[in-house]
């Protein structure tokens, strides 16, 4: 993984190239204050301060200054420096206007790329260092960049190289030296204790056998929170086989697990005063003689009988058993991340994770945190009448609705059946992917909703 720590350092008066940030509204006024040679050069370059992320280098003898275009010079976004970080020559820089707040995140992530499978990675362009007057924010910002990069790297890794065993390894590596305990349930113990997880993963080869991965950290008497991640390392759809187009990106179906693990690392690194319980249901939804079938009825860990309407609605099944396990230790809050439904993407597109919450207070906290760190979420309803869509003629409920409507809501309502009354729960149906690149955010795996939920947890528990 990229070493982000050297890329953002406190400003102690080191020599650095200034970066002037301008916006469309203020560019003309800024330009009038510049030397005549700067005005002439920018005019010759047709640099008018209007094109987002455009930048120019202004000569200063053997050195140069930078002018870059942002949406608002007074309200910097997390990504306004990302293009500069991707493009500027190696060296040390600082904002002429002072502090940069969340903009440092884009500076860091603009220098991260996934090159594990390139025989000839791009030539090393060196590092671009940003000086900051916000010394106290250096370490937290580096941790956010590391967490985001972890999600990206895990999601981008091909399924052939990242199965349930590799997810387990990633959790164990995250726990090393942090005083965290890891417990893995597999084999006969999984089959008897977590039947839904076993059913979904039962068709995979022995080397890619299913498991429930748990990590616990923190003082026993601290408020207990559960973070749950959907870890479907590849989703063929099972016997309800996906078409080729639907299967192409299914290496990313463990994106929820990647988010959950990254969030756990942030919580531990920040030393939030909580008792953390991370749970990842790690499976491959494969096809073989051992595959579970449409029409099968499976008794869950909670004792609820589930009729399988669609083997491609597997994510909610593996989460259900994990929810039951998490609830047994009586957390005061449970949050899950899952690449759960295409319906959420149809409703909200790729950029907006669908947020479901059992209380207005929890939803408001999450949405406020999302706005604060510019990591957007959009609340969707837990609409009780749609429970009728999950009715089964022979079992307690079916795993999918019969009607081709409200798919993300019915999926959330299925999950809610495994959340005990009184337990606060938030569910993020996230895409974990970017279909098109933008500065600091390459095409491929990405963290969507991670920063929002971490800030919410900081606000809820950091002051205790």
CA separation for the pair 272, 278 (Å, rounded)? 14
Beta-bridge mates of residue 22: 69
Beta-bridge mates of residue 59: 64
Q: Which two tokens stand for residue 8?
A: 């953002």
- Compute φ and ψ for 3, nearest 5 degrees: -85, 105
First to last CA, the chain: 33
Q: What is the torsion angle, in degrees rounded to the nearest 10, for the CA atoms of residue 245, residue 247, residue 251 and residue 255?
A: 90
Nearest alpha carbon to residue 449 among 381, 378, 375: 375
Q: Spell out the residues 6+ positions from residue 247 whose beta carbon is closer than 8 angstroms to its own.
A: 235, 236, 237
451 is catalytic: no
Nearest alpha carbon to residue 104 among 369, 373, 353: 373
Q: How far is CA 314 from the centre of its chain?
A: 20
316 is catalytic: yes
**24, 34, 242, 417: which one is catalytic?**
242
Q: Spell out the residues 6+ positions from residue 388 whose beta carbon is closer than 8 angstroms to its own.
A: none
Q: Which two tokens stand for residue 139?
A: 């370490």
Q: Which two tokens stand for residue 185?
A: 């349930």
Q: Which two tokens stand for residue 108?
A: 């860091």
**316, 325, 441, 451: which one is catalytic?**
316
Nearest alpha carbon to residue 452 among 262, 172, 220, 199: 262
Q: Which two tokens stand for residue 394?
A: 């022979």
CA separation for the pair 278, 264 (Å, rounded)? 7
Name the 3-class secondary structure at 271.
Answer: coil
**Angstrom distances, CA of residue 364 to CA of 357, 369, 422, 424, 451:** 9, 8, 18, 13, 15
> Which helix (DSSP H) or strand (DSSP E) does residue 410 occupy?
helix 407-416
Beta-bridge mates of residue 229: 280, 337
H helices of 286-378, in order, are 315-327, 342-348, 360-373
What's the angle, vertex CA 132, arms to CA 129 and CA 137, rounded to 5?
Answer: 110
* Residues acting as catalytic residues: 242, 316
């Amino acid at each position: 993984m990229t070493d982000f720590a050297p890329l953002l350092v406190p400003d102690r008066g080191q020599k650095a190239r200034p970066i002037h940030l301008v916006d469309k509204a203020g560019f003309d006024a800024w330009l009038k204050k510049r030397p005549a040679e700067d005005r002439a050069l920018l005019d010759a370059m047709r640099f008018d301060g209007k094109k987002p992320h455009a930048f120019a280098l202004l000569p200063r003898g053997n050195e140069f200054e930078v002018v870059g275009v942002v949406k608002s010079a007074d309200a910097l976004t997390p990504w306004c420096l990302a293009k500069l970080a991707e493009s500027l020559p190696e060296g040390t820089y600082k904002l002429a206007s002072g502090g940069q707040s969340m903009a440092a995140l884009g500076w860091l992530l603009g220098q991260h790329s996934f090159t594990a499978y390139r025989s000839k990675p791009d030539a090393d362009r060196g590092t671009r260092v940003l000086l900051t007057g916000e010394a106290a924010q250096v370490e937290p910002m580096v941790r956010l960049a590391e967490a985001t990069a972890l999600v990206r790297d895990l999601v981008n890794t091909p399924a052939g190289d990242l199965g349930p065993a590799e997810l387990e390894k990633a959790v164990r590596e995250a726990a090393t030296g942090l005083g965290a305990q890891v417990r893995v349930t597999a084999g006969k113990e999984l089959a008897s204790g977590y039947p839904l997880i076993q059913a979904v993963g039962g068709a995979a080869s022995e080397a890619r056998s299913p498991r429930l991965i748990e990590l616990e950290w923190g003082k026993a008497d601290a408020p207990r929170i559960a973070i749950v991640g959907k870890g479907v390392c590849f989703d063929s759809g099972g016997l309800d086989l996906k078409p080729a187009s639907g299967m192409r990106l299914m290496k990313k179906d463990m994106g929820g697990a990647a988010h959950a693990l990254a969030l756990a690392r942030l919580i531990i690194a920040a030393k939030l005063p909580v008792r953390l319980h991370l749970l990842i249901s790690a499976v491959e939804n494969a096809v073989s003689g051992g595959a579970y079938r449409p029409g099968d009825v499976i008794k869950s860990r909670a004792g609820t009988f589930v009729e399988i309407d669609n083997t491609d609605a597997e994510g909610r099944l593996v989460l259900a058993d994990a929810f039951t396990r998490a609830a047994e230790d009586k957390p005061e809050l449970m949050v899950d991340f899952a690449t759960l439904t295409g319906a959420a993407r149809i409703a909200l597109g790729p950029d907006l994770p669908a947020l479901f919450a059992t209380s207005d207070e929890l939803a408001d906290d999450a949405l406020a945190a999302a706005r604060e760190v510019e990591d957007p979420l959009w609340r969707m309803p837990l609409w009780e009448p749609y429970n009728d869509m999950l009715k089964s003629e022979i079992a307690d409920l079916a795993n999918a609705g019969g009607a081709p409507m409200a798919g993300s809501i019915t999926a959330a309502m299925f999950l809610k059946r495994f959340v005990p009354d009184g337990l606060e729960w938030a569910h993020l149906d996230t895409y974990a992917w970017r279909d098109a690149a933008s500065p600091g955010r390459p095409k491929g795996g990405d963290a969507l909703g991670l920063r929002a939920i971490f800030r919410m947890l900081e606000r809820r528990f950091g002051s205790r």
